[in-house]
Amino acid sequence: MTEFLSGAHILCRLLEEQGVDLLFGYPGGAIMPFYHALPESPGLRHILVRHEQAAAHAADGYARASGRPGVCVATSGPGATNLVTGLATAQMDSSPVVAITGQVPRAMIGRDAFQETDVIGITLPITKHSVLVDDITELPAKVREAFRIATEGRPGPVLIDIPKDVQNQKMEWSEERPGQATRPAGNPSPGPRGEESIRAAARLINEARRPLLMLGHGVILSRAYAEVQALADKTGIPVITTLLGISCFPESHPLHLGMPGMHGEVHVNRAIQHADLIIGIGLRFDDRVTGNTAGFAPQARIIHVDLDPSEIGKNVPVAVAIMGDARVVTGRLAEAVTPRDCDDWREEIQGFVHARHESYRGDMAPETILAAIREGSGAGCTVVADVGQHQMWVAKLYGYQEQNSHISSGGLGTMGFAVPAAMGVHFARPTRPVWAISGDGGFQMNMQEIATMVQERIPVKMAIFNNGYLGMVRQWQQFFHGRRYSATPIWSPDYVKLAEAYGIAGYRVEHARQIDEAVSRAIREPGPAVVEFMIEQEANVFPMIPPGGSLSEPIESAPAAAPVP
Amino acid sequence: MMPVLTWVVSALLADDLLALNRATGILRRRNLPVGAVSVGPGGRPGSLRLTCIVSSDRAAADRLASALRKMTEVREVSVYAEGEGTCREHALVRVRVSPAQLSAILDVISLYEATILNETPQELLLEASGSAPLMVSFIRALEPFGIFDVARSVTPLPPQQAPLDTAGAPRASVAAPRIGTAVPA
């Protein structure tokens, strides 16, 4: 049947065609035609956030948890600019977010019209792609292209800017000839050159005496869980998971070592420094992983598996590069290597293990809190960590077993990410528990989203690690800036009363004996709940590689006399 | 440490200002020492050729090419050492002139096969083209007379090119117009 529809109506049809059933957004002047059409598409559920940044983070959380593109919507001007942090977060962590923004009418573009911003220009460096729809006739192709680009290859955010008059334009639309829903391209075969590289990599793996597997976010993006485990099991190679690779490999597995890098465990970093071969799969050797690259893994040759050719050799020199999907390549590698074990090497690494030095006033240790959350929530729980000290504790101490159950802002390090992203995770996994774990700084950046959770009945549990400081910055000030705590003490409202004001349950935990009870009561709540944990004010995250230092130079205790820069 | 040389990174991209904006944004973000950028029709209908000259090691030039290839509007990217392709500079120089120096300036013009585009009793506007060292030499030869203004641009051509489909493209567009930097004398 052929209909004569507006651009806004056609946009709704296109979103349905692409399999979208959920949008996070906030209406405004330039996107009103779309919101006018939206109720006529009951298959599109809209979640009204309280700030557009939260819409982008929620779409990102949804995308990471579901593997499908997350969609956010905003108006022109401030609505669009508020998306920026969320889009940059998605870009840095390769998350397929599609952002739809209204724009002033075409005739007004370039005239500094009310709520006009050049959002395409603003977001050029922080999106995988962006398009301005100049005419309604371009709308179907550009929307389909946006979804294809967002999901194809290395995923990333795409922005579609649609002038208001294009949303109001009309054209014929035929339901009988809908376009194909965009699906990510199948896993590409490595090709002849890839096969040659796989054989070269297998030879290096067979010959190595001290090999390590370093697994990154690409393993989760390509769902290569079984393949990396097969490779590890067949070779006995110890496994390291980067911050965004956490939960791609069960931490109870005897080959799992932990997280590398700036706050990685000492034995993990020492293993890297002693390794003669590193097989990096789906990671980009970020500076938080390598420390000073000049001193990174000095004895190791590196095999780098990545879908994105621009990552190969970007940060570290590579002996063998295999460009391709982590799942396909790792599967082929697992077939090509000779069965072996690395028992001597694993024993050597065990000799590197240090007892932890952290001490906490009272008994509110992060381990205790995280163990209560893990045991109380059971299998299937997803933890969305914010950014800061608690993020490192969550990364290192939670003990992830479930695939893709740890979500955090890694590349951009976006404080305020956890609460809205957890909303998106809930919609991707509606029957499974979701915790947003934040510090008192990050929580206050997006705590307005409690209202969204209440209105939309989103039962995310929120944990706040409250130490009265912007803890990670304070730690750097303690270690590297003469203990001058400039602008890091942070006041918080009474979170229990705040929760009550929103009509939800809130708990404050000041002693370890209260942890289990508070956590289990929060979990039993049918809706969202807040649990505030009053932790040690000046607790530090150890070990720590100083900025610019190599992985061989960990700080394992607070400096006795803090240096003054 | 890989040797630092001069590389030409040449990208054929969609003839679209947004694509050009995106590509130049990549140049900026990669933080490489870009010596020259030129933009012009790419010889195929609907395409632009963006060429930049960077002084770096080969790996850095390759990383820039990889980043450009990720753009959906980019059709092809090539990297080659400056000497491998053909590279020509175009220079416009406004130089002071006096009756006493006219003969000497005309000698320079003749030596470098320059052209006088405009003349007044006080100044000449000269045009010359050739290799980069030749243009540097040309400008130095004029410096004693007093240079008011200089504009230079670079047009590189990759060493090997597939036959261009120039159907629909104006003949003049194959020789790309150039964007250069005006350098006050």
ipTM value greater than 0.85 = no
Whether A447 sits among the annotated catalytic residues: the reply is no
Q: Which amino acid is at A149?
A: I
Q: Which helix (H) or strand (E) holds B32?
A: none
Instruction: Describe the strand order of the beta sheet including A505-509 as a list of residue ranges.
Output: A406-408, A382-385, A434-439, A461-466, A529-534, A505-509
Per-residue pLDDT band at B185 (split at 50, 70, 90): very low
Which DSSP string do the residues of A258-300 spell out, in sequence order? E--STT--HHHHHHHHH-SEEEEES----HHHHSSGGGSSTT-
Concerning whether A164 is annotated as a catalytic residue, the answer is: yes
CA-to-CA distance for A296 and A299, rounded, in angstroms?
Answer: 9
Q: Which strand (E) or helix (H) includes residue A174?
A: strand A170-174
- Any CB–CB contact under 8 A between B18 and chain A? yes
DSSP state, B2?
P
Strand partners, B48: B13, B41
> What is the tens place of the pLDDT at every residue in A276-293?
999 999 999 999 999 999
- Helix/strand/coil for B58: helix
Question: Is A465 in contact with A370 (CB distance < 8 Å)?
Answer: no
Sequence-separated (6 or more) residues with CB below 8 Å from residue A335: none
Q: Using CA atoms, how far apart are residues A417 and A158, in angstroms rounded to an integer? A: 19
Largest alpha-carbon pair distance within chain A?
A: 78
Any B CB within 8 A of A501 CB: no
Per annotation, catalytic residue among A115, A401, A448, A514: A115
pLDDT tens digits, one per residue of B38-90: 898 887 889 999 999 999 888 889 989 999 999 999 999 999 988 888 888 89
The burial class, CB within 10 Å (0-12 / 13-18 / 19+), for A138 is: middle
pLDDT at A564: 60
- Closest chain A residue to B29, measured at CA: A125
Residue B18 to residue A125, Cβ atoms within 8 A: no
Burial of A294 (0-12, 13-18, 19+ CB in 10 A): exposed
* Cβ-Cβ contacts under 8 Å, A130 against chain B: 18
* A461 is a catalytic site residue: no
Q: Alpha carbon A257 to chain centroid distance?
A: 21
Ranges of residues in chain A with a pLDDT under 70 are 176-190, 192, 356-362, 561-565
Query: Which member of A124, A132, A149 has the closest CB to residue B25?
Result: A124
Closest chain A residue by Cα to residue B65: A310
Q: A428 and A95 in contact (C-beta within 8 Å)? A: no
Q: Could you tell me if B2 lies within 8 Å of chain A, comparing CB atoms?
A: no
Burial string for A464-496 (b: 16+ CB within 10 Å, else e) reads bbbbbbbbbbbbebbbbbebeeeebebeeeebe
Q: What is the pLDDT of residue B168?
A: 38
A537 is catalytic: no
Q: How far is B142 from chain A (nearest CA, A)?
A: 42
Q: What's the one-letter identity of residue A278?
A: I
Chain A residues whose beta carbon lies within 8 Å of the beta carbon of residue B69: 309-310
**pLDDT, tens digit (0-9, with 9 covering 90-100), for B99-136:** 999 999 999 999 999 999 999 999 999 999 998 889 99
User: What is the CB-side half-sphere exposure of residue A412 using CA atoms within 13 A?
Assistant: 20
A115 is catalytic: yes
pLDDT at residue A560, rounded to an integer: 73
